[in-house]
Amino acid sequence: MTDATLTARAVRARLRLEALSGIAWLPVSQPQPVRGTPGTLAEWAAMAAGCRACRLCEGRHSVVFGEGNPAARLLFIGEAPGADEDLQGRPFVGAAGGLLTKMIQALTLSRDDVYIANTVKCRPPGNRVPQPEELAACRRFLEAQVALIRPKVICTLGRTAANALLNCDAPLGALRGLAGTRYQLVPGTGEEIPVIVTYHPAHLLRHPEAKRDAWTDLQRLLPYLHAAP
Ligand code: SF4
């Protein structure tokens, strides 16, 4: 019996189990890179497109992997896709996305210059905050994005993204402006990427008085953007 036959049987057995039990979703092991590790962004995006490793797969219309320059010096990380993003399959395309675009332009960059991703790639129902197990399940995609892009600096948008990337539970106010915040690219090797923490654009839409502080945060990105390659 071939591997393909065995795989097909396993899939059919799984579908029968789901149908019998009335369960619409069961966790499955993560797919592995298409050709070795770490692969390419396109390969990781293809894996994410078929991912069912957490229950956020249940209600998604599309997997929002991320977009932008694969060699970007600046990587933005937000929380999760919203309704507009879920429908279009692109990150930050709604009202908050419009504000993020303006923030990028204020740095004299365009969306094509940077890379934009989220901590989870599927929309949480009702735009709720991703649960710890969902963040954990999706983390390998985020880690792959950081490792493959190797940006000079990362800007996290909102508390969820900052906590997820930095593996902490500190409030946003304690992380904003914190000097020396780093993401360990490869633990134990000393390879680190500076992290600037700021507000999520959705928060800025609700609290425009915070835009001044956000601009202060963005200006802290500039030395890293303009440093020698
Ligand atoms: S949120 Fe991430 S881990 Fe969960 S199903 Fe989507 S791609 Fe997979």
Is residue 26 scored above 90 in pLDDT? Answer: no
Q: Average pLDDT, whole number, for the chain?
A: 86
Peptide bond just before 38 cis, omega within 30 deg? yes
According to the model, what pLDDT value does residue 220 have? 96
Q: Read off the pLDDT of residues 80-133 as tens digits, 9 standing for 90 and up.
A: 999 999 999 999 999 999 999 999 999 999 999 999 999 999 999 999 999 999
Question: Is the pLDDT assigned to residue 44 strictly greater than 50?
Answer: yes
Q: For the chain, which domains are there?
A: 31-225 (3.40.470.10)
Atom 6 of ligand 1, nearest CA residue: 122
Give the number of the atom of ligand 1 that is nearest the alpha carbon of residue 65: 7
pLDDT value for 1: 43
Cα dihedral sign, 3-41-215-176: positive
Give 167-208 pLDDT, tens digit per residue: 999 999 999 998 889 998 876 677 899 999 999 999 999 999
CA of 174 to the centre of ligand 1 (A): 29
228, two tokens:
């020698």
Greater confidence, 27 or 62? 62
Q: What is the pLDDT of residue 187?
A: 67
Structure confidence at residue 36 (pLDDT): 40
Q: With a cut of 90, say whether residue 156 has pLDDT above it.
A: yes
pLDDT bin (cut points 50, 70, 90) of residue 21 is very low
Which residue in this structure is represented by tokens 């009702």? 126
* Choice from 51, 60, 86, 123 to test ligand 1 binding pocket (greatest atom count within 8 A of CB): 51
Binning pLDDT at 50, 70 and 90, where does residue 165 land?
Answer: very high
Tell the residue nearest (CA) to atom 3 of ligand 1: 138
Query: Where does the pLDDT of residue 55 fall: very low under 50, low under 70, confident under 90, or very high at 90 and above?
Result: very high
User: Is the per-residue pLDDT at 29 higher than 80?
Assistant: no
Q: Which atom of ligand 1 is nearest to the CA of 130?
A: 1
| Alpha carbon of 120 to ligand 1 centroid (Å) | 6
What is the pLDDT at residue 38? Answer: 65
Ligand 1 centroid distance, CA of 14 (Å) = 19
What amino acid is encoded at 37 in this protein?
A: T
Select from 91, 62, 61 the least CA-distant residue to 78. Answer: 91
Q: What is d(CA 207, CA 94) in angstroms, rounded to the nearest whole number?
A: 17
Centre of ligand 1 from the C-alpha of residue 111, in Å: 24
DSSP letter at 208 equals G
Q: What is the pLDDT of residue 77?
A: 98
Pocket test for ligand 1, best of 52, 77, 86 (most atoms within 8 A of CB): 52
User: Which of 56, 79, 119 maximizes ligand 1 atoms within 8 Å of its Cβ, making it the mutation to test the pocket?
Assistant: 56
Q: Ligand 1 pocket: which of 57, 58, 61, 85 to mutate (most atoms <8 Å of CB)?
A: 57
Give the position, in ligand 1's atom list, of the atom nearest the Cα of 120. 1
Three-state DSSP state, 119: coil
Gyration radius from the chain CA atoms: 19
